[in-house]
Structure 1
């Protein structure tokens, strides 16, 4: 088995009749953290939703390889059992199902075996305490009436307990205040171990203050047009994406 955890080969994706991703290639090795940036509507969320097998996104050509296995045609639940997790930009409310029951059921499904209630509750309590979540949140309906920060903390809580091989965080920092960003950032650091890989979509550097990315990729108009290290984030924050567009146009002879 290779060191590649995820390999995207010549991926083309459309939503409805609109082509979104165009010949995207990406390799993520075990233990690596990759940040994906780009203007709004450039295809960032489309990429992670496609990796997670959201049926809204249609793969027209290309492959998604996970641990040397072609998962391009696998359903989302099958990919979750393989070790892929996605934190949503806008987590949905699930009235009638408590946070505790939701995560415990998810854990049992992903691991494909019953979960020890005592061990699970101890782990849940520990993780919630680290994320500065009050104990009563465990009994509340999943995300129902939660603030933006509470929803994002719950996403990180799920990630930590489900313990996937690859976690994809879609703008987990959007709408968070400074304290919430700090807590969520620390939660990501606590999850990140040598064998865990991350894809983080963000517009800001604060969320990765505790986890320095190995690679930064910039998507514009559905194509990865620029790659670099963490210093690329700072330059984009200071100068925007205009200079990258100029580089692309220049290389295309425009």
Structure 2
């Protein structure tokens, strides 16, 4: 059995007829943590939304293979059923649907079978404790009145309970204080195993203080221009993106 989970080759994506991704290549194997870093406007969130199948993002050419299957034509919910999860940069508030019902319904839809309410609630309460979230969150409307940190923790809670094969975290550490970043990182480590993978998209290195990525990629002007190990994130944190921007102009 192949360990290849995601393979993106020569991906070109437009948003409102503007080309954002310009021949991007990326391969992720099971059991790996990959980090995408880059300046604002480089195409980081476009990559996340394109993998997830957001209809606003149009794939002009290139391939997106997930477990050796071309998923470019699949709808977002179909990609979720395949095992892809996207944590939103700005989670939406959904009045009228509480957290417990939302995640349990999503789990049932992805697994395509009923989920035992008792079993699910026991697991939910255990994960709430692990993420230092009050048990009352389960009964609150999804993200309504949640602080920024609570919304991000809620995204991690969904990831842990839905158990995707590939989790894409888009700016999950953005706007969080030190304690919240630590808890979110603990949640990521709780989820991580040898059969799944994580793609972290970020413009800073706060979350990486508690995680050790296998690969760090620099995304500049719609392409990955450099790949390294965890030390690359430290270099960027110290020196910024100047040398990569200069190399891209050559």
The verdict on a shared fold, with TM-score over 0.5 as the criterion, is yes
Give how far 1:3 is off: 1.6
* Number of aligned residues: 250
Q: Deviation digits for residues 68-124 of structure 1, max 9, x if unmatched?
A: 111111001111000000000000000000000000000000111000101100010
Q: Is 1:225 aligned to residue 248 of structure 2?
A: no
Matching residue of 1:32: 32
Taking the aligned partners of 1:75 and 1:93, their CA distance within structure 2 comes to 23
User: 1:73-222 maps to which residues of 2 (within 5 A)?
Assistant: 73-222=73-222
Taking the aligned partners of 2:78 and 2:102, their CA distance within structure 1 comes to 18
Give unmatched runs, 5+ long, in structure 1: none
Secondary structure of 1:34 counterpart: strand
Secondary structure of 1:114 counterpart: coil
Give how far 1:206 is off: 2.5
Give how far 1:214 is off: 0.7
Taking the aligned partners of 2:243 and 2:134, their CA distance within structure 1 comes to 45
Give unmatched runs, 5+ long, in structure 2: none
Matching residue of 1:60: 60
The answer to whether the 8 A contact 2:220-2:248 is kept is: no
TM-score (structure 2 length as normaliser): 0.98
User: 1:6-21 maps to which residues of 2 (within 5 A)?
Assistant: 6-21=6-21
Q: Deviation digits for residues 128-158 of structure 1, max 9, x if unmatched?
A: 1111110111000000010000000000000
Give how far 1:208 is off: 2.4
Taking the aligned partners of 1:65 and 1:210, their CA distance within structure 2 comes to 30
TM-score (structure 1 length as normaliser): 0.97
Taking the aligned partners of 2:76 and 2:169, their CA distance within structure 1 comes to 16
Taking the aligned partners of 2:210 and 2:119, their CA distance within structure 1 comes to 28
Taking the aligned partners of 2:136 and 2:148, their CA distance within structure 1 comes to 17
CA RMSD of aligned residues (A): 0.8
Taking the aligned partners of 1:247 and 1:16, their CA distance within structure 2 comes to 28
Secondary structure of 1:212 counterpart: coil
Matching residue of 1:5: 5
Query: Where does structure 1 differ by over 4 angstroms across 4 or more consecutive aligned residues?
Result: none
Which deviates more from structure 2 when the two are superposed, residues 209-218 or residues 75-84?
Answer: 209-218
Taking the aligned partners of 1:72 and 1:203, their CA distance within structure 2 comes to 27
Taking the aligned partners of 2:2 and 2:217, their CA distance within structure 1 comes to 22
Taking the aligned partners of 2:208 and 2:193, their CA distance within structure 1 comes to 15
Give how far 1:243 is off: 1.2
Give how far 1:247 is off: 2.2
Q: Deviation digits for residues 185-210 of structure 1, max 9, x if unmatched?
A: 11101111111100001123231233
